[in-house]
Structure 1
Amino acid sequence: MQFIDQAEIEVYGGKGGDGIVAFRREKYVPAGGPAGGNGGKGGSVILMAVTNLQTLLDFHYARTFQAEDGKRGGPNNCTGAGGSDRLIEVPCGTLVLDIDTESVLGDLVSEGQTLCVAQGGKGGLGNRHFLSNQNRAPEYALPGLAGEYRRLRLELKLLAEVGIIGLPNAGKSTLISALSSARPKIADYPFTTLIPNLGVVRKPTGDGTVFADIPGLIAGAHQGVGLGHDFLRHIERTRLLLHLVDITSSDPIADYQIIQQELSAYGRGLSDRHQIIALNKIDATSSQLVAQITSELGQLTPVPIFAISAVTRTGLDVLLATVWETLDHNII
């Protein structure tokens, strides 16, 4: 499945039905008077969050959505039927913005949450509405009003409590596959992962917590370098960042600092998000180097530092215990 996390669509509320001019004509009723009914209200366009969608791919094929128009009024003071609403399903975590005003209309994060993005137009008034002592037989009615029109930008931000970040080839995909049933593509070259991967990691209590493997972060990511700029937004919803550092790289300390600089440059509170550092691939290096890098990182940051190997699953139990404690006790 292709992962699409941004889309632009146009939505049209339904037009209100026209009011009509009609008069009551019945036997033995010599002065029936005006009896033109009002038009029905146009349908509205409504977005609804669902859990069975994980991408905005559908909106690359259908970009225009219109609700049903209201029906015109009828004789005998009958109001026209209202138009049906247009219900559009979007993934949970979809942020909705008005392109023309750059304003945020809503943030759909929970199953079943709805947002009306284009109101239907009001129905026109029939001639019955204009009856007065001065005008006993009005011969005019009002047309229905046009529905609301908007151009929208949809941005999907993944709903995950823990975001796994790090430079390419740090072992993020290997870690999420070791912790969960997710099976992302894994290879020994950078940028193997081109889309965020989600995996549910089970707690000892049996509850599931969603982890997200955020790909493509490199120096300059916040300016659009590499793939990181496309996926930094997905970190915004995470409660905890698990920063993976490849201890076998030429300079693990510099690798750590690059990611921290990108989080700070991107803004939106990412640099202040609670973090846990995991030095990965300790199976491929000496214990002396692990101790040295741990000591040097400890002088740069007060956050917890763990030495793990995602391949051999060394140290994962201790790491997860700290993750659960941090999330459960709201140490964030």
Structure 2
Amino acid sequence: MTKSDVLIIGGGPVGLSCAYYLLKSGRKITILEAKEIGKGSGSGNAGHIVPSHIIPLAAPGVVTSALKWMLDPSHSPFGMKISLDPTYLSWLWQFASACSQKNVLRNVKPLKELGRLSAENFSRIIAEEKFNCHYSQTGFLNIYKNEASFQAARHEAEFMQKYGIPVSIYDKSKIHEVEPAARKDVIGGVYFTGDAHLNPALFLKELGERVRAMGAEVHEDTSVTGFASAEGKVRAVKTRAGEFEAEQVILAAGAWTPIVARSLNLKIPIQPARGYSLTASAIQNMPRQALILGDRRVAVSPLGDLIRVTGRLEVGNYNMEPDVRWIARLENFA
């Protein structure tokens, strides 16, 4: 049996970041990863670091918009599993119940502080460890072709300004100075100057290599099958490769966290959500900063000699089979 100070279940962004800071504090760390560390959705996302995102996803109007989008599934930026599973239905009910202005106002300040700390830690790790992951602090620009969408974004930006988020609003006369790559039919944009972006795959590769070099014991292709506990505390983590003992356990398995936690009789209200990304060689007219095509809710990320287009949010389904319609849509954007 292997024993460590802290055992971390999951080798994604959260698990590796926990390992990094715990190793710096002198702890002996073991990481168990069901597949490969630094892979999966953690490496394939848009790579946006957005402390400006202080409005929770559960906000007024979200449920109505989601229902409208679902009427056109081949073009909708949102999708969800249809299921009568009680756990899933309970989560949906809790989410819908949280879509209120009261909930937004209650969570704005905590989300702002969490976003600030997260952005600062990204910047600090990359600078101190000299990671080469195309990290860029050039801000985050939302651009619009539709007047109604632009005005809604303006209203949201003005709300964020009241809470100290650095944001500039540009109309058609200025937007092309900020982003020359924007098409002529773009009528305006909202620019969050305090945001950043990076290549998430490179960041996680560098971070994974660093925690190994710092002494972390990493076990890939090692799924958790159960726990040994006593007196209300986990004493060991069971896998097909054997048992791993630790003083403390961190559960950082992403969407699989509720499944792993079942044998501990823990009900964690997390549902899986996935998106689609397409990565291609850099184009001639690359954007200056990370973009959101606001009318279509598609992200565009310049990643050095690559460009990544990301879109769609599908909730509630662990099925990894992609929807070919959305791959085709992203190819059109690329």
Task: Give the TM-score taking structure 1 as reference length.
Answer: 0.25
Write 1 or 2 for the structure with the bigger share of helix: 2
**Higher CA-based Rg:** 1
Task: Give the TM-score taking structure 2 as reference length.
Answer: 0.25
